[in-house]
Amino acid sequence: MKINQVIVRYLKMPMKHSFTTSFGTIQDKSFLLLEILTEEGIVGFGECVAFEAPWYTEETVKTCWHMLEDFLIPILSQKEIHHPNDASKWFSGIRRNNMAKAAIEGALWDIYAQKMNQPLAKVLGGNKEEIDVGISLGIQPTIEKQIEVVGKYIEEGYKRIKVKIKPDWDVEVIRKLREAFPKVPMMADANSAYTLKDLNILKQLDEFDLMMIEQPLAYDDIVDHSILQKQLKTPICLDESILSLEDARKAIELESCGVINIKIGRVGGISEAIKIHDYCESKGIPVWCGGMLEAGIGRAHNIALTALSNFEMPGDTAGSNHYFEEDIIHPEVVVTNGTIQVPQTAGIGYEPNRKAIEKYTVSSKTYLI
């Protein structure tokens, strides 16, 4: 098939609650939404997960738009697309910029699944009918408030709770949460807020039976994580440091982690995500699907990917209503007792909510191929 048109929309959606991590607070969800039209009239959607500022990885909304407009969309012209895997081959001459690449590739997977007349999860090789999900909760103003917020989501049935930590918001907070919820599957995500100098603090977290500690050290490190992992009982989960299958292979060889958080955008697309999933499965390393506070299209892709077998641990894909008053898909993503039903209809299994997309669009540009 050939692509006729790519529409890039810049959306800004108010979030129900701000989200605070060790690197700052996000108030609104601003992102690029891609709509790709083929010559046969199939329409596919992809969501670019880059944020407005480069605090998670180096990509931003603007760098992605630049990469899309000046490099990635032009590559699509004159190309016959047989399979979404083709995209990663064409894009391989462009270094990184994984979130921009993944946005196109996600839309191609949507188109491909529609063409196959199968749900995306099946096309990716996933057989789960429902997936277990947890929730990632931002840093709260007080420990009392943090306990209250965690309690609310345990009540709602989420299968594990992830809380954010940073220096001076760590051991005491986790201790109090453990006292309040002794049995709940719990984990902590530091988003690279520590160094090996903080070994003492990180070692104290071993006491609380956490499922894992996510990305304690630098965003681009696997060596110090390997040193740290040898000093900790709690498994380390890598997030920011894993941008490719090669990174995963090196981290596992160095024993830098016991778990990997896979995010489609961070690794450059679903094809690379599946390669990492398969490699980790062969090495006995469980994976789970991370989140980027996605709107509905990104959430739909995450759900399909999580249907694969080695997504053994609950991911961060919470329900649409946790983040937004109104999502850009219908039906919205619904979480019941900590599970999401994997859609069984062709494509990503959710329809774009055109009215909502229109409402939240700040600007857009159409590229004729």
Provide the annotated binding site for Mg(2+).
189, 214, 239
Pairing of strands 43-48, 361-368: unpaired
**Beta bridge partners of residue 237, listed in sequence order:** 214, 259
By CB under 6 A, residue 327 contacts ligand OSB: no
Report the nearest approach of ligand OSB to the CB of residue 189 (Å).
5
Binding residue for Mg ion, selected from 47, 105, 132, 189, defined by CB under 5 A? 189
Report DSSP state, residue 217.
S
Size of the site for ligand OSB (CB under 6 A): 11
Q: Considering the rule CB under 6 A, would residue 290 count as an interface residue with ligand OSB?
A: yes
Is the N-terminal amide bond of 331 cis, ω within 30° of 0?
yes
Binding at 59: pick from Mg ion, ligand OSB, none (beta carbon under 5-8 Å per type) = none
87 binds ligand OSB (CB under 6 A): no
Ramachandran quadrant class, 269 (left: phi over 0; alpha: psi -120 to 50; beta: rest):
left
SS3 16: strand
Is residue 60 classed as helix, strand or coil in its secondary structure? coil
Cα 282 to chain centroid, rounded: 22
216: CB partners within 8 A, 6+ apart:
190, 192, 193, 194, 198, 202, 225, 228, 236
d(CA 285, CA 295): 29
In the complex with ligand OSB, the residue whose CB is nearer, 37 or 193, is 193
Stretch that binds ligand OSB, among 104-112, 266-274, 287-295, 334-342 (CB under 6 A): 287-295
Quickly tell me which residue has 């990492």 as its tokens.
276
Instruction: Choose, from 164, 203, 355, 365, the residue flagged as catalytic.
Output: 164
- In the complex, the smallest distance separating the C-beta of residue 192 from Mg ion, rounded to whole angstroms, is 9
If the CB atoms of residues 214 and 294 are measured against Mg ion, the closer one turns out to be: 214
The option from ligand OSB, Mg ion, none interacting with 194 (CB < 5 to 8 A, set by class) reads none
> Is residue 134 a contact point for ligand OSB (CB under 6 A)?
no
Q: Which of 29, 162, 166, 263 is catalytic?
A: 263
- What gap in Å lies between CA 76 and CA 331, rounded to an integer? 31
Window contacting ligand OSB (CB under 6 A); options: 290-298, 324-332, 335-343, 356-364: 290-298
| Residue among 3, 5, 10, 11 at smallest CA distance from 324 | 11
Is 164 a residue of the active site?
yes
Query: Does 47 sit near Mg ion (CB under 5 A)?
Result: no
Token representation of residue 58: 């180096």
* 81: its two tokens: 């697309």
Q: Is 283 a catalytic residue?
A: no
Angle in degrees, 0-180, between the axes of helices 98-116 and 296-306, rounded to the nearest 10: 70
* Residue 132 near ligand OSB by CB under 6 A: no
Determine, following the binding rule CB under 6 A, whether residue 47 of this chain makes contact with ligand OSB.
no
Closer by beta carbon to Mg ion, 98 or else 353: 98
Selected range binding ligand OSB among 60-68, 170-178, 285-293, 339-347, rule: CB under 6 A: 285-293
Catalytic positions: 164, 263
Contacts to ligand OSB by CB under 6 A: 56, 136, 189, 191, 239, 290-293, 316, 318
